[in-house]
């Protein structure tokens, strides 16, 4: 679908220079001399390279619609991860390089993820925003630290190290943001 250059929004997928790009950041610029333009930071969907590009309102770009389907995580075999499509029960195996090592460490049995594909070829995996995990190790609280501003290191059941508030101890279940591996809250379960 063709759209004007000034209609690009963060998160949009566009076809530019024969490749697929995701708009990461946009900035409207109106210089004193000449016409206004949109400064867009683009990220290549396949290899992650970045590009800064200017689009004027008179330009048109091709906006691409991705097919998004929910898949259930089944198992891993070395660096390969197998998912099952929830409606057709078709299985797809993706490598850790495709998923990303940071995201792969948060995959849990039966977790539902969204796999984006373009023309039948997968191009991205989106995990849920947060997961609940148990803390296996937590450093003791240092006396004199205030609870409002201090955090201590802790290790989760999947081996990831995060910073948690002083009241969190080993065995406590916590909610962790999957995007940046940060503590969100204590689990309600």
7-59, pLDDT tens digit by residue? 888 878 888 888 888 888 888 888 888 888 889 898 888 777 898 988 888 88
- Calpha distance 83→91 (Å, rounded): 6
Q: What local confidence, expressed as pLDDT, does residue 82 receive?
A: 93
Q: Who contacts 156 (Cβ-Cβ below 8 Å, separation ≥6)?
A: 133, 134, 135, 136, 162, 174, 176
- Calpha distance 59→125 (Å, rounded): 31
Whether 47 and 58 have beta carbons less than 8 Å apart is answered as no
State how far Cα 135 lies from the chain centre.
23
154: its two tokens? 């802790």
In order of start, what are the domains of the chain with their CATH numbers? 2-63 (2.30.30.30), 67-126 (2.40.50.140), 130-186 (2.40.50.140)
Per-residue pLDDT tens digits for 139-171: 877 666 555 567 888 999 988 899 888 888 888
- 73: pLDDT confidence band, cut at 50, 70 and 90? very high
User: pTM here?
Assistant: 0.70
Per-residue pLDDT tens digits for 93-131: 998 888 888 888 888 888 999 988 888 888 888 888 889
Pairing of the two strands 50-56 and 2-4: unpaired
Q: Looking up tokens 């508030």, which residue turns up?
A: 165
Q: What local confidence, expressed as pLDDT, does residue 146 receive?
A: 58
């Amino acid at each position: 679908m063709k759209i004007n250059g000034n209609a690009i929004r963060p998160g949009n997928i566009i076809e530019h220079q024969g490749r697929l790009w995701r708009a990461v950041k946009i900035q409207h610029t109106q210089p004193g001399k000449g016409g206004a333009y949109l400064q867009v930071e683009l990220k290549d969907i396949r290899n992650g390279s970045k590009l800064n590009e200017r689009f004027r309102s008179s330009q048109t770009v091709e906006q691409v619609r991705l097919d998004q389907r929910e898949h259930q995580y089944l198992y891993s075999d070395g660096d390969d991860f197998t998912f099952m499509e929830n409606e057709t029960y078709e299985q797809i195996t993706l490598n850790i390089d495709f998923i990303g090592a940071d995201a792969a460490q948060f995959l849990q049995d039966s977790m539902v993820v969204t796999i984006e594909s373009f023309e039948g070829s997968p191009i991205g995996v989106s995990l849920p925003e947060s997961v609940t995990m148990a803390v296996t190790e937590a450093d003791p609280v240092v006396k004199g630290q205030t609870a409002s501003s201090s955090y201590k290191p802790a290790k989760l059941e999947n081996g990831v190290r995060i910073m948690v508030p002083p009241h969190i101890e080993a065995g406590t279940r916590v909610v962790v943001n999957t995007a940046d591996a940060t503590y969100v809250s204590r689990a309600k379960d």
